[in-house]
């Protein structure tokens, strides 16, 4: 399938090595058994500089839902055991224990790490100086007697080598996002900035990036399901673009699938958010932003920015937010594209209205010279309409049978307008109805 873009799709470097003919069953020896594929995969969800919006977005996913993944409802997918700071029932030491086991290499099953939120630069100063985000406490050394909180950044680098895959969810984790915006004091960065471009998981997979602020929940769960199918050797490796985004989800601009794209093409623009028309003149960056929210919907295939009348502010893009600010101001490029659409689209729109007007009349009505509509329909007296229709039909039927002309020879049906023929006065129907009305008092 061609997207019309010169898009660099890449396959994971070591995937062939993992699933080649000489590979042990059970995901390269990381789990499962010689008799069958994996039964269980642990997912460690870690929050860095985050607003928890990604957790909320993921928990609203429907296709597949988080529950589908946790309950193992998808045939042949391993059951996902989720360790989430908010959603897991366990707390304290009980909650942290599996994280520690994963770091120590004693978990006994493969694990995937999901990061929500950006990564602060707190490895730049000594532990005793503090931290920007933390999870659990007591250090990582079993002999340690410290009660200091454990930095999220320590968990991230310690879990990295043994993870089957590392997934960054949301724009903060994928690109840095709002915590990394100009003027921040945390030195926040993306997961790939933190781990470095040479990072590969235990299965040879670079960081998978599912951006969005917040992301479409389905984008995340579908990517996880696709990676799990691949890990089960049931599906080919999903395609990722040169920034590690699932290519099938982020390969198109939001503009191409926007429900308002027709307005843009006809040069009709909104004046304020919520208007029906194209929002480019009030700050929509959709024509240059890779996002699928209008196809997928915000939740359960419903909603999404333009569907709800909101302009795109580029929240899935690495340049967000600084490169898309100030929000709700027309992008400079829209002056050229918008003016062009206004001129060419305006002319095309008028021609289309003429064709629409012709199509809104049956051949019978044309032959009779009137439409039997009591809804105030008026025939257009515009002579241009007839001229346009004449030439349009010439082109439409060239090399074919002119059915419009054939239909002109059809006789008018004799029982047309039967009530008038029978002498029934429709103006009398109101008094007749009134005679049968029962007043509220009579009731």
CB of 8 to ligand SF4, least distance (A): 21
Cis amide linkage into residue 58, ω under 30° from 0: no
Residue nearest to ligand SF4 (CB): 286
CB of 178 to ligand SF4, least distance (A): 12
CB of 266 to ligand SF4, least distance (A): 11
Residue closer to ligand SF4 (CB basis): 140 or 328: 328
Residues contacting residue 195 through CB under 8 Å, at least 6 positions apart: 156, 157, 160, 166, 207
Give, as ranges, the residues between 281 and 340 that touch ligand SF4 (CB under 6 A). 284, 286-287, 289, 291, 293, 305-306, 312-316
CB of 254 to ligand SF4, least distance (A): 5
Residue closer to ligand SF4 (CB basis): 195 or 280: 280
Residues contacting residue 214 through CB under 8 Å, at least 6 positions apart: 53, 54, 56, 57, 170
Residue closer to ligand SF4 (CB basis): 154 or 252: 252
Number of residues interacting with ligand SF4: please give it, by CB under 6 A: 23
CB of 52 to ligand SF4, least distance (A): 17
Please tell me the distance from the alpha carbon of residue 265 to that of residue 262, in angstroms, as a whole number: 5
Identify the residue whose tokens are 């781990």. 195
Give, as ranges, the residues between 61 and 80 that touch ligand SF4 (CB under 6 A). none
Q: Which of 261, 267, 283, 296 forms a contact with ligand SF4 (CB under 6 A)?
A: 261
Identify the residue whose tokens are 């990564």. 119
CB of 300 to ligand SF4, least distance (A): 16
Please tell me the distance from the alpha carbon of residue 115 to that of residue 155, in angstroms, as a whole number: 11
Instruction: Tell me the backbone φ, ψ of residue 86, rounded to 5 degrees.
Output: -105, -40
Residue closer to ligand SF4 (CB basis): 136 or 287: 287
Residues 205-244: x where in contact with ligand SF4 by CB under 6 A, - otherwise, as a string: -------x--------------------------------
CB of 226 to ligand SF4, least distance (A): 20
Residues 362-401: x where in contact with ligand SF4 by CB under 6 A, - otherwise, as a string: ----------------------------------------
Q: Which of 151, 245, 255, 296 forms a contact with ligand SF4 (CB under 6 A)?
A: 255
Residue closer to ligand SF4 (CB basis): 220 or 264: 264
CB of 257 to ligand SF4, least distance (A): 9
CB of 282 to ligand SF4, least distance (A): 9
CB of 353 to ligand SF4, least distance (A): 20
Please tell me the distance from the alpha carbon of residue 207 to that of residue 201, in angstroms, as a whole number: 8
Q: Which of 260, 283, 341, 389 forms a contact with ligand SF4 (CB under 6 A)?
A: 260
| Cβ neighbours, 10 Å, residue 150 | 22
Whether the Cβ atoms of residue 220 and residue 45 lie closer than 8 Å to each other = no
Q: Which of 280, 296, 297, 354 forms a contact with ligand SF4 (CB under 6 A)?
A: 280
Q: How many residues are recorded in the chain?
A: 443
Does 194 sit near ligand SF4 (CB under 6 A)?
no
Whether the Cβ atoms of residue 214 and residue 53 lie closer than 8 Å to each other = yes
Span near ligand SF4 by CB under 6 A; candidates 74-82, 235-243, 275-283, 382-390: 275-283
Residue closer to ligand SF4 (CB basis): 203 or 305: 305
CB of 284 to ligand SF4, least distance (A): 3
Dihedral (C-alpha) 291, 297, 299, 300: value to the nearest 10 degrees? Answer: -140
Whether the Cβ atoms of residue 277 and residue 268 lie closer than 8 Å to each other = yes
Span near ligand SF4 by CB under 6 A; candidates 61-69, 111-119, 141-149, 276-284: 276-284
- Interface contacts to ligand SF4, rule CB under 6 A: 212, 254-255, 258, 260-261, 264, 278-280, 284, 286-287, 289, 291, 293, 305-306, 312-316
């Amino acid at each position: 399938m061609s997207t019309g873009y010169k898009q660099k799709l890449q396959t994971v470097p070591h995937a062939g090595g993992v699933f080649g003919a000489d590979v042990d069953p059970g995901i390269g020896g990381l789990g499962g058994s010689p008799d069958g594929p994996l039964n269980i995969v642990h997912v460690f969800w870690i929050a860095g500089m985050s607003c928890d919006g990604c957790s909320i977005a993921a928990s609203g996913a429907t296709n597949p839902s988080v529950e589908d993944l946790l309950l193992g409802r998808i045939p042949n997918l391993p059951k996902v055991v989720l360790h989430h700071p908010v959603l897991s029932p366990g707390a304290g030491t009980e909650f942290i224990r599996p994280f520690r086991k994963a770091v120590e290499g004693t978990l006994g099953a493969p694990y995937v790490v999901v990061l929500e939120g950006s990564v602060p630069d707190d490895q730049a100063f000594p532990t005793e100086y503090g931290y920007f985000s933390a999870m659990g406490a007591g250090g990582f050394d079993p002999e340690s007697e410290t009660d200091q909180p454990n930095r999220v950044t320590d968990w991230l680098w310690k879990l990295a080598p043994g993870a089957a895959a590392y997934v960054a969810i949301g724009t903060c984790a994928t690109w840095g996002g709002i915590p990394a915006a100009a003027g921040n004091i945390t030195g926040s960065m993306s997961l790939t900035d933190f781990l470095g471009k040479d990072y590969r998981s235990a299965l040879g997979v670079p960081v998978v990036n599912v951006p969005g602020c917040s992301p479409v929940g389905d984008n995340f769960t579908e990517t996880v399901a696709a990676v799990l199918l691949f890990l089960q050797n049931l599906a080919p490796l999903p395609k990722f673009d040169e920034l590690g985004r699932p290519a099938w989800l982020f390969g198109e601009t939001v503009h191409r699938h926007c429900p308002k794209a027709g307005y843009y093409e006809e040069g009709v623009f909104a004046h304020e958010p919520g208007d029906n028309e194209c929002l480019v003149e009030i700050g929509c960056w959709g024509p240059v932003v890779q996002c699928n929210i209008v196809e997928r919907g915000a939740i359960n295939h419903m909603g999404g920015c333009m569907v709800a009348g909101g302009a795109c502010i580029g929240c899935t893009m690495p340049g967000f937010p600084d490169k898309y600010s100030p929000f709700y101001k027309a992008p400079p490029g829209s002056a050229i594209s918008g003016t062009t659409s206004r001129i060419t689209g305006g002319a095309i729109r008028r021609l289309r209205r003429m064709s629409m007007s012709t199509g809104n009349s049956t051949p019978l009505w044309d032959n009779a010279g009137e439409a039997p509509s009591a809804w105030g329909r008026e025939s257009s007296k515009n002579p241009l309409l007839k001229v346009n229709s004449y030439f349009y039909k010439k082109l439409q039927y060239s090399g074919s049978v002119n059915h419009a002309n054939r239909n002109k020879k059809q006789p008018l049906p004799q029982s047309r307008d039967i009530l008038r023929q029978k002498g029934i006065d429709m103006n009398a129907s109101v008094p007749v109805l009134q005679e049968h009305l029962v007043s509220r008092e009579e009731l």
